[in-house]
Amino acid sequence: MTQLLITGGAGFIGSHTAVVLLEAGHNLVVLDNFDNSSPEALRRVMELVGSEAAGRLRWIEGDIRSRADLQRAFAAAPAPIEAVVHFAGLKAVGESVAEPLRYWDVNLSGSRCLVAVMAEHGCHTLVFSSSCTIYGFPEQIPINEMAPVAPINPYGHTKAAVEQLLADVVASEAPELARWRIARLRYFNPVGAHPSGRIGEDPLGTPNNLFPFVSQVAVGRHERLTVYGRDWPTVDGTGVRDYIHVMDLAEGHKAALDVLLAEGPQLLSLNLGSGQGHSVLEVVRAFEAASGRSVPYEQLDRRPGDAAITVADPSLAAERLGWRTRRGLEEICRDGWAWQSANPDGYDSPGSQSSG
């Protein structure tokens, strides 16, 4: 049993990872300001894992940019925090173009503040949520970790900057005195939901990303999907992505923590993806099959800033973590639909509040 701090643990990926880590027997303190999430997600995490494991979860409402809030989170743990899984941050590409200062503040300053407080507490193990977005327009598919880091928007710049900050922290230590154990996990396109349908992705406002939009069309919240592009050099002219089930991703975090805690100081940089690409129209068809609903769409021009294809080479993660994805597109759509159909308006759906 390890005492962990999970920043952003009420969010989409954080809540699913919390389930996996609680089920693995760990103690968790979640620090989240609920800027893009709801405490209801954490109540449902508790309900899913059962009362014994639920007793090992605490949460603090607070901001990673606040030293005082971070100190409160460290003080809330019943035992010294041994490792941090750092999800908290802002992630919308378009918003980052409109509000770059906010993105640099939350993503970079927040991460800097977290690392400084960790060091004060003698906690040197960190798993960081990075993104395939740092590769920008990839030169080679599949993308391996040696590909150039060349982000093309402010969100991507902040992720690359935090990756650099972490590398600088590791490099600052003399090898014989090294303490930091850091994993920079570069997620591809996380989608799907817990198979129970009790927790899932709950974007504020109109979704920018394909999956939540498709599932909101299927449930009747939007009339039709806009498919961006019909002339990409792909199987059917639409963009191809590497969609990863959020439960596979959650298990990837557990695997990374296990490796960091078992091995010595190091800096890991790993792609977390399936290695499989699917086009937009393949996703639409798979979602229709899983939901039994139709997903009408219209095809428009390409979306600015999109690449034709992004697919991970996940072999390094398999080698270093002994981890690979186990769930395919069908399961992604089935579980995504279980969540969307039971919670048409996300955590605000009528009658959706947990009783406990």
Identify which of residues 66 and 208 has a Cβ nearer to ligand WQD in the complex.
208
Count the site residues for ligand WQD by CB under 6 A. Answer: 19
Count the site residues for ligand NAD by CB under 6 A. Answer: 27
Our finding on whether 35 is near ligand NAD (CB under 6 A) is yes
Identify which of residues 15 and 52 has a Cβ nearer to ligand NAD in the complex.
15
For tokens 């939540």, the residue is 212
> Catalytic site residue 103?
no
Residue 272 interaction partner, one of ligand NAD, ligand WQD, none, beta carbon < 5-8 Å per kind: none
Residue 57 interaction partner, one of ligand WQD, ligand NAD, none, beta carbon < 5-8 Å per kind: none
- Find the binder of ligand WQD among 47, 228, 288, 316 (CB under 6 A): 228
**Sequence-distant (≥ 6) Cβ neighbours of residue 165 within 8 angstroms:** 108, 111, 112, 115
**Sequence-distant (≥ 6) Cβ neighbours of residue 86 within 8 angstroms:** 7, 8, 64, 111, 114, 126, 127, 128, 129
Our finding on whether 187 is near ligand NAD (CB under 6 A) is yes
Q: Taking CB under 6 A as the rule, which mask of x and - marks residues 79-118 in contact with ligand NAD? A: --------xxx-x--------------x---x--------
- Find the binder of ligand NAD among 3, 4, 8, 323 (CB under 6 A): 8
Our finding on whether 291 is near ligand NAD (CB under 6 A) is no
Contact call for residues 239 and 229 (beta carbons, < 8 A)? yes
Task: Say whether 321 sits in a helix, a strand or coil.
Answer: helix
- Find the binder of ligand WQD among 144, 196, 209, 266 (CB under 6 A): 209
Query: Using CA atoms in the order 155, 160, 166, 170, what is the torsion angle rounded to 10 degrees?
Result: 180
**Sequence-distant (≥ 6) Cβ neighbours of residue 332 within 8 angstroms:** 191, 192, 211, 243, 245, 286
Kindly tell me the number of DSSP H helices and DSSP E strands found in the chain. Answer: 13, 14
Our finding on whether 152 is near ligand WQD (CB under 6 A) is no
Our finding on whether 13 is near ligand NAD (CB under 6 A) is yes
Contact call for residues 40 and 9 (beta carbons, < 8 A)? no
State the DSSP code for 151.
Answer: -
- Find the binder of ligand WQD among 137, 303, 322, 353 (CB under 6 A): 303
Residue 13 interaction partner, one of ligand NAD, ligand WQD, none, beta carbon < 5-8 Å per kind: ligand NAD
**Catalytic residue positions?**
155
